[in-house]
Structure 1
Amino acid sequence: MQFQVRPSETRGGADHGWLKTFHTFSFADYWDPSFNNFGALRVVNEDRVAPTTGFPTHEHREAEIFSYIISGELSHKDSMGNVETMKRGDIQHTVGGQGIAHSEYNSHNSVGNHFLQVWATPNQRGLKPKYYTRHFTDDEKADKLAHIVAPIGSPNVLDQREDKVPGSSPSPINAALNTFATVLSPGKSLQHTFQPTIKGVDGAKIMYAHLTQTSGFNTKAAAKDGKTAVIRIKNGDSEAVLGEGDGLFIRGAKTGDVLEIESTGGSPAELVLFEMDQ
C-alpha cells in the first residue's frame, strides 16, 4: 500500500473575505495537473462562509455533489423546489445529472459556517436530478466510523430523499465512492476495512483521507504541537501523520485490507475517508 501526504498548506485556495476556501483538487483559479481528480473524486473544498453571505444561484450538471456540515448552518435552495437549512451532522446531496440550479447561503446573522463541499464523477450520464439529506449525530461518529455516503444498490442504502431513522442509511450516490466520518478522541484508535467494489466483489481500492481544520482557518503548515488534532494512519510498513487540513492519498489497497487509525493530538480529530474503486 502506498501513502502520499497532501499537506494542508499546499492546497489551492483563496480568502475572499466572505469566503475562506481550500481546494484539494483543481478548482476555480487554482489549477494543478497533478491534482485534477483522484478516482471518482473531483472536488474536496474546505469552505468557511461568513454570516449572511453565500453562493448565489448557479448551475451544475453531470456531477454528484454533497456538503458535509462541520459547524454553523448552510441554507440550500434549488430548481427542484427544495429549500432546507443544514446544520452540524447533516449531509446534503444533489444529483446534478441533466442539470440543476441551486444556491447556498449562510443564513445565520452572526455565526460562520464551516463545511466540506465534495464533487464526484457519476458512473452514468444523463441522470434525472435528485436531492437527498441525511443526518449523523456526534455520538454516531464518536470514536467509530459512520458510513455517510455509499453507492446506490449497496446493502442498507435507501434510494429515498430522507432517512426516516437518522444514521441508519448512508446517502446514496451514483459513483464507486464510500464515505466515512469519525470524531476520534485523543488517545483513541479504530480500524477501517476496505469495502467490496461497486459490483459487490473483491477488487483494487484507493482512498483519500482528510483531517478537517477544526481549530480555525490556517494557511500555514498544520500544527502538531500536542494541542490540535493529529491522526496517525498505518498499514504494515506504510505510515502517515496528519495535522488539521492535511490529506492522505492511499493507493495499492484491496478489499479486506485494514487501516489502523489513531488520534495522537490534544483535540478530537474529525476525519473523513473517501474510499473508491480503482
Structure 2
Amino acid sequence: MSTKIVPRRSDERGHADHGWLKTFHTFSFAMYRSAAHDQFGSLRVINEDRVEPRTGFGTHGHREFEIFSYVVSGELEHQDSMGNLEILKRGDLQMTSAGTGIRHSEKAHGTKPVHFLQIWSIPSTKNLTPQYFTRHFTDEEKKDKWVCIVAPSGSDGVTEKREATGPAPVHSPLTLYATLLSPSKSLSHTLSNTKAYYHVVQTSGYNPDKASGGHVKVTGADGAVVDLREGDGAYITGDIGAELKADNVGDRVAEILLFDLE
C-alpha cells in the first residue's frame, strides 16, 4: 500500500477581505484562479467564510452542483427557491442538490458573525431534481472519532429525507467525515477510494498569515508525513485500503474534516 501527501497551506489559499466577508478559497473561485488547485476529483470548492452580522450572500442561482454548508460558529440564515427558510447553528450541516437549478441566499443571522465552510462537489448525474437536506451533529458525537456527515445517495445508513439522523445524501462519489480531535489523540481511516483530502478548520480565529493554532500530523500508509495547522489542508492519493492516521500533536482540540472521494 502506498500514499502520496501534498500539503495545501492556509496562507497560500485564495484570500479576500471584503469587510463584510473574509474568505479563503482552497480551489479556484470568484477572482481567484489556480490551475494547480482547480478541483480534486469530484471536490470542487472549499471556502472558509466569515460573514459579518446582518450581511451575507444575496439571492443568486446555482445548477449542477452539490452544495453543503458546515457551520463552525454563529448562525447562518438559509433561504431558497424551494421554500426552505432555516437558521443553521454550530453542528448543523445543510446540503442542497442544485440539479436543474435553484436560487438561494445565505446570511449571518443575529448579532454575531457566522463562520462556516461552503463546500461544492460535482454530481455524477446531471439534470437532477433539486433537493434540500439538513443534519445536526453535536460536538460530543464528534469527539475523538470520525463521524460520517455526508455520504453518497443510496449508501447504507443514508436517509433520503429533508431531516433525519445519519449522513446527508450527496450525488457525488464523496464521503465526508468530521471530528473534534483532542490533544494526544489519534484517528485512523482506511481509504475507500483513491483520493482523500484533509482540512483543519481555522477555529482559533481569522488568520490570513502563516497557519497557527491547532497542530495535526497526518501519516500515510508508507510513512509519508505532513504537519498541518489551522486552515491547512492535504491532498492524499493512494491505494484503496491504504490506512491514513491523524495525530493531534498540539495543545488544543483540532476540528478536522476528511473527504474520501473519487
TM-fit CA distance, 1:3: 0.4
TM-score by length of 1: 0.92
Deviations along 1:72-104, one digit per CA (max 9) or x if unpaired, are 110000000000000000000101000000001
**What is the alpha-carbon distance in structure 1 between the residues aligned to residue 224 and residue 23 of structure 2?**
30
Matched, 1:218 2:232: no
Deviations along 1:129-185, one digit per CA (max 9) or x if unpaired, are 00000000001100111100000011111111110xxxx410000000000000001
SS in 2 for 1:9: helix
2:196 to 200, 207, 210: 207
**What is the alpha-carbon distance in structure 1 between the residues aligned to residue 200 and residue 127 of structure 2?**
33
**What is the alpha-carbon distance in structure 1 between the residues aligned to residue 189 and residue 174 of structure 2?**
15
TM-fit CA distance, 1:105: 0.7
Map residues 220-259 of structure 1 onto 2, 5 A cutoff. 220-223=209-212, 228-235=213-220, 236-254=222-240, 256-259=241-244
Per the alignment, residue 269 of structure 1 pairs with 254
Per the alignment, residue 201 of structure 1 pairs with none
Residue identity (%): 50
Per the alignment, residue 157 of structure 2 pairs with 156
SS in 2 for 1:126: coil
Deviations along 1:175-219, one digit per CA (max 9) or x if unpaired, are 000000000011111111223xxxxxxxx5101110011111111
Per the alignment, residue 64 of structure 1 pairs with 66
**What is the alpha-carbon distance in structure 2 between the residues aligned to residue 79 and residue 42 of structure 1?**
23
| Equivalent residue letter for 1:249 | Y
2:175 to 174, 178, 186: 178
- The runs of 4+ residues in structure 1 deviating greater than 3 Å are none
TM-score by length of 2: 0.97
Matched, 1:122 2:107: no
TM-fit CA distance, 1:112: 1.0
Per the alignment, residue 41 of structure 1 pairs with 43
Do 2:15 and 2:208's aligned partners in 1 also have CA atoms closer than 8 Å? no
Residues paired across the two proteins, number: 259
- RMSD over aligned Cα, in angstroms? 0.8
TM-fit CA distance, 1:107: 1.4
Per the alignment, residue 84 of structure 1 pairs with 86
1:189 to 161, 186, 189: 186
Map residues 90-101 of structure 1 onto 2, 5 A cutoff. 90-101=92-103
Unaligned 5+ runs, structure 2: none
**What is the alpha-carbon distance in structure 2 between the residues aligned to residue 142 and residue 108 of structure 1?**
28
Unaligned 5+ runs, structure 1: 196-203
Deviations along 1:1-37, one digit per CA (max 9) or x if unpaired, are 1000011000002000000000000000000111110
